[in-house]
Amino acid sequence: MKSEILRALREAGDGFVSGQALCEKAGVTRQAVWKNITQLKEHGFVIESVQNKGYRLVSSPDIFYPADIESRLGRDCLFHKADCYNVIDSTNTRAKQLAELGEEEGTLIIAERQTSGKGRRGRQWDSGAGTGIYMSMILRPVIEPSSVPGITLVAALAVVSAARQFCNVETFVKWPNDIVLDKKKICGILTEMSSEMDYINYVVVGIGINANNEHFPEEIEETATSIYLQTGQKTDRAGLAACIAGCFSRYYKEFTRARSLGPFVDEYNSVLANKDQEVKILYGMQEDRNKTETGIARGINKDGALLVDTGHGTECVVSGEVSVRGLYGYV
């Protein structure tokens, strides 16, 4: 009910929405509308009420509130439910727990702070409170398990697209799972899967974004940045999270229909920080942990592999760590 009220108020922009119109949209009584608006005000939403005009949304608090997130999602969006937490160990861990219990596709898990945020290859992700966006998505794609790594690239495209649409900033993808702004990292993506031999139980995609961070620990201040540090503008975090979910929904639906990244190869390569840059590949395989190779990255193929021109041909890199000259201190 609260999400429908907020949706109606947002759609009205600076205009007022009558109490009767809110009743009809939410399918409740005037008394119920008044009660829910009172509760929204208690959570920090500034809602103006004028006799004979109705209600107008003046401002929203900088918090993650389920009804607020849900009110910003398009009606055709894959995502329709948001679980929000002030503090959580890891949004990915919580998403996997819910998926194991049968939570359906289309649920978002969002937190103000993570105490045990996880990154790729088990790295810790710094997750301070009230500045970043820490969100995970529960998915149940009907595709081959071998195609799941492509979802990470889909998520990266969604973040780049949302940053452009919502924040008016141009970001780039460092294959396969980082987003960079001015050659520094602002976002990391972690995709995890539960599957059988030829069947996917669920996929969880975690996204951590440095939105309004004003500073970073000394050990990462040279390699990390935030949207705020680059633009000087504070970001509406709930709005950006919802925009990412909406962009992801569109890309994901096309990806699962095509069962490949074919429809997005050109778009992805246009925002690929690695493209036409010298890269160093650290394979990190168990049998050859220290194997490295250098070359020029040329883009991805429809399977999401990074194509690297080496001195002895084109290498299709499907996993491993890729360092790009000029990014993260690799020179």
- Closest by CA to 206, choosing from 136, 138, 154, is 136
Q: Over the Cα atoms of the chain, what is R_g?
A: 21
What's the CA gap between 217 and 328, in Å, rounded? 15
Percent with pLDDT over 70 in the chain: 90
- Closest by CA to 251, choosing from 133, 144, 139, 90, is 139
With the C-alpha atoms ordered 244, 318, 182, 266, is the resulting torsion angle positive or negative? negative
Looking at 17, 35, 59, which one is the last position of a domain?
A: 59
Does one domain contain both 34 and 156?
Answer: no
pLDDT digits (tens, 9 = 90+) for 221-231: 888 999 999 99
Name the average pLDDT for the chain.
Answer: 89
Q: What is the largest CA-CA distance in the chain?
A: 76
Does one domain contain both 251 and 166?
Answer: yes
Q: Are 196 and 213 in contact (CB under 8 A)?
A: no
What's the CA gap between 282 and 1, in Å, rounded? 51
Residue 329 lies in a domain: no
Give the pairing type, strands 278-282 and 107-114. unpaired
Looking at 59, 78, 107, which one is the last position of a domain?
A: 59
Residue 330 lies in a domain: no
Side chain identity at residue 276, one-letter code: D
Residue 331 lies in a domain: no
| pLDDT beyond 70 at 289 | no
Does one domain contain both 143 and 258?
Answer: yes
| pLDDT beyond 60 at 120 | no
CATH number at residue 314: 2.30.30.100
Structure tokens at 194: 């539960």
Distances (CA, A) of 78 to 104, 224, 253: 11, 31, 8
Q: Are 125 and 99 in contact (CB under 8 A)?
A: no
CATH number at residue 36: 1.10.10.10
Name the range with the highest mean pLDDT among 105-109, 193-197, 316-320.
Answer: 105-109
CATH number at residue 75: 3.30.930.10
Does one domain contain both 282 and 265?
Answer: no
Looking at 40, 59, 78, which one is the last position of a domain?
A: 59
Does one domain contain both 290 and 146?
Answer: no
Residue 100 lies in a domain: yes
Q: Flag the least confident range among 189-198, 248-257, 321-330.
A: 321-330
As a dihedral over the C-alpha atoms of residue 213, residue 214, residue 219, residue 220, rounded to 10 degrees, the angle is 50
How many structural domains does the chain have?
3
Owning domain of residue 14: 2-59
Residue 224 lies in a domain: yes
What's the CA gap between 153 and 210, in Å, rounded? 19
Angle at the Cα of 9 (from 5 to 12), degrees rounded to 5? 145
What is the H or E stretch that residue 270 is in? Answer: helix 265-270
Residue 197, φ and ψ in degrees, nearest 5? -60, -45
